[in-house]
Amino acid sequence: MAYPLIQKKRKFRDILLLIVDKIRIKKDTNYSRNLIIPSPYKQIFSNKNHTESHPKKSQKENAVSNLTVQQFLEMLQEQNITGLGGGGFPAAQKIKTFLASKSPTKRVLINGVECDPGLVHDAHILKEHHHEIEQGLEVLRTLFQPQEMVLALTNQAGFWKNAHAMQIPHHYPSGQEHRLIETVFQIPIPTSEPPAHHGILVLNVQTLLQIYETVASSEYKSHRFVTVGNLETGMAQVLRVAPGTTSQEAVDQAFPGQTVSHVGGGIMQGREAQGNEIVDGSIPFIGVKGAPQLQAKDCRKCLQCNVHCPQGLDVQSIMDTKQGDAASCLQCGSCSYVCPAHINVCAKITAVKESISA
Ligand code: SF4
Ligand code: SF4
């Protein structure tokens, strides 16, 4: 069961806010719900001998500039390229839906916003692979000629030739696909509807890198980036691991002598490691030490979960009655993070969501 690997520290100011929030939520439905969650890392280090271990680059570079849309899609299909942002959806299928959309405006959004405060590999990719990302953007721009092309990131935007770079505030969960679209294009899309149907192609920055490397050299596939974090010492390292790599092998590279303790989507959606697991799309984060266990007490009806739900759900009521709009839940874990009773609220809402869709 996933839960936040860090807990909100409660200070005197927080206790006052509990009272203020209760009053505000009654008066102001637009009250800002997003959380600012501090990074768990004091130091992000890079060991050039270990990171970026991937197959040898091909000497031969394919002629990317002469590709047709059809050839491009066939390449992605042949190489079985899937989204690396967590969804694992086939990239070619997503792009076909985007191209077939009846929307008169085509938009491309490259998501370089870490979806979790415990992940740092999107920032790493944008810094260390600027050239390849720029080339990938150029491929998309040439093939699809979108009216808008945005690269969303959290660090300083810098100069990007082939896309409008937009710096997004460090608010959780601003990297979630539908929320990011709303922030960037001011277009609200229900979470049940794929953005590609609306003429918006969203690709994670890691997927774009993989797409570019695949079409350019035909050799890079399936290697994925993970953040390995030591939550006790506050140190993190980004690795690029080969298919079949296990969580313990990644820890051996990043923090020799340590043992994997937690894995999952990040510090907001982590879980205890179940032995030595294969690092797949569900494990962008590998943790070593330092995560607290939730020790649930009775609900205090403080409504902090409601106040901080980015979807504006009546979380406490859904949890109590097992009814309501659980389908809109993003499973972001904000409710569990803020709960002063340490209840894994997100897990309870997820259970309601699954029972409704079953
Ligand atoms: S679940 Fe937690 S945050 Fe929500 S009302 Fe109960 S005690 Fe408060
Ligand atoms: S109910 Fe769902 S969307 Fe709302 S805070 Fe909890 S996990 Fe996030």
**Number of neighbours of residue 322 by Cβ within 10 angstroms:** 14
Q: Is the pTM of this model over 0.85?
A: yes
pLDDT at 205: 95
Enumerate residues lining ligand 1, CB below 6 A.
299-305, 316, 338-341, 343, 345
β-sheet with 148-153: strand ranges across = 164-167, 148-153, 107-112, 200-204
pLDDT tens per residue across span 15-57: 666 666 656 555 544 435 778 888 899 988 876 555 554 544 5
The answer to whether the CB of 149 is under 6 A from ligand 2 is no
Q: Which helix (H) or strand (E) holds 264?
A: strand 262-264
How far CA 188 is from CA of 86, 182, 183, 273, in Å, comes to: 21, 5, 9, 36
Residue 257 has pLDDT above 70, yes or no: yes
* Segment 161-212, tens digit of pLDDT: 999 999 998 889 988 999 999 999 999 999 889 999 999 999 999 999 988 9
CATH fit for domain 64-217, picks 3.20.20.140, 3.40.605.10, 3.40.50.11540, 3.40.50.10800: 3.40.50.11540
CA of 342 to the centre of ligand 1 (A): 8
> Which residues on neighbouring strands pair with residue 225, listed in sequence order?
240
Distance CA 312, CA 307 (A): 7
Rounded to the nearest whole angstrom, what is the distance from the C-alpha of residue 107 to the centroid of ligand 2? Answer: 28
Instruction: Decide: helix, strand or coil at residue 288.
Output: strand
Atom 7 of ligand 2, residue of closest alpha carbon: 331
In the predicted structure, residue 218 carries a pLDDT above the cut 80:
no
pLDDT at position 347 over 60 = yes
Q: Which ligand is nearest to the CA of 316?
A: 1
Any atom of ligand 2 within 6 Å of the Cβ of 335: yes
By most ligand atoms within 8 Å of CB, the mutation choice from 10, 14, 294, 302 for ligand 1 is 302
Contacts with 90 (C-beta within 8 Å, 6 or more apart), sequence order: 76, 77, 80, 81, 82, 83
**Predicted pLDDT at 1:** 79
Pairing of strands 262-264, 285-288: antiparallel
The mean pLDDT value for 128-152 works out to 95
| Helix, coil or strand: residue 178 | helix
Mean pLDDT (the chain) is: 86
